[in-house]
Amino acid sequence: MANNGSIKYCVNWNNTETVTSSQRVLIARALQKSMQEWVDVLVGFDGFPLTTVDVNVVSYAAKSVNQIQGDTTGLDINTVTQNSKGEPECDPRCYRTKYLDSKTGMSECPGGDKSSYDMVLRLETMPTYPGINILGIATKDWQHFPDGPIGNQGGFLMIRPDYIIHVAEFDAWMLRDWWRKTKAHRNW
């Protein structure tokens, strides 16, 4: 809601390969398609105000600026921030969630609001097949939930993110439940 229907991504490019301008376009398109699929399950549900989402990749985290090829005008490339393993990561000072209730805005983010991001996509390799399935790739961190089977539900992102190409009904239910609770909590 804070972004009026747009989501800004930072892509964490954790490998030694380069990413071409064409590959960056594919990544952005795949993120757009995947995020829209999530929004589609919320359209018309419990006052959800959006019908579309605009996805923008605003930054990359990489080991070297030279890994991000092509025109990078307007794109932040972070080579400084690293996690505890020494791997590049998106600048945590620019993570928008940190500032949800802030009165000072994005004061700690070096590029200010222009450089802030809402989500991170961690890529260790560039998928080589057509129509990149970011839906599964972007949700790998969810694989730890739930602890066991839920009824006859098996084909959903929480269990098998690497094999899912569409949002399953159970995923949609969980997202709707999240929206219902978040809407109430934030008084939207």
The better pLDDT of the pair 142, 7 is held by: 7
Using 50, 70 and 90 to split pLDDT, how confident is the model at 165? Answer: low
CA 40 to chain centre: 16
**Average pLDDT of span 126-147:** 48
Residue 139 lies in a domain: no
pLDDT tens-place string over residues 34-69: 889 989 999 999 999 999 999 999 999 999 999 999
In a domain, 61, yes or no: yes
The answer as to whether 90 is a domain residue is yes
Q: What pLDDT score was predicted for residue 143?
A: 40
Q: What tokens appear for 180 in the block? A: 């219902």
Higher pLDDT residue, 134 or 15? 15
Domain coverage including residue 57? 6-130
Identify whether the C-beta of residue 71 lies closer than 8 Å to the C-beta of residue 84.
Answer: no
Write out the E strands in 62-134: 76-78, 119-123
In a domain, 12, yes or no: yes
DSSP code at position 4: S
Distance CA 156, CA 141 (A): 14
Whole-structure pTM value: 0.78
Length of the chain as a residue count? 188
